[in-house]
Structure 1
Amino acid sequence: MQIKEWVDELFEIFDVNKDGLINRSEFVELIHCLLQDKGLRMCESIFKKFDANHDNGISKEELTEMIIDLAL
């Protein structure tokens, strides 16, 4: 599976309210899933780092950057 397909799938799963952004509570679930226990403490700093436009949401583009940065 390519990164774009993986991001699309993750975004679809974790954008629970389907507003086109991953809000903070959805992000906590995403990070918990990706990083498990150690992720809970890191959520706030990671969210701030990747919410590039500071709109309190992670867009699909921002999630793509996060996945590339953290996974590769």
Structure 2
Amino acid sequence: MNVQEAKTRLSELLSRVERGEEVVVARAGTPIARLVPVDLSWRRPFGTMRFEVPASFDEPLPEGELAAWE
């Protein structure tokens, strides 16, 4: 598909891509881009890492630890 035609019909092209079709866009008959559906299967849900904050988290650091930071 020519670039100008692709610009004019972008919404239609995106609908076709959503249905699984690949669309090749060309400039002067030379292919320059390919529209393909995004593969989201590799993504994992955000926030799946679990950890616990110890009760001592907000307590003052020991003197030896404080001295090491100075």
* Higher strand content, 1 or 2: 2
Using CA pairs under 8 Å that are at least 6 residues apart, name the structure with larger relative contact order, 1 or 2: 1
Same fold (TM over 0.5): no
State TM-score, norm by structure 1. 0.25
State TM-score, norm by structure 2. 0.25
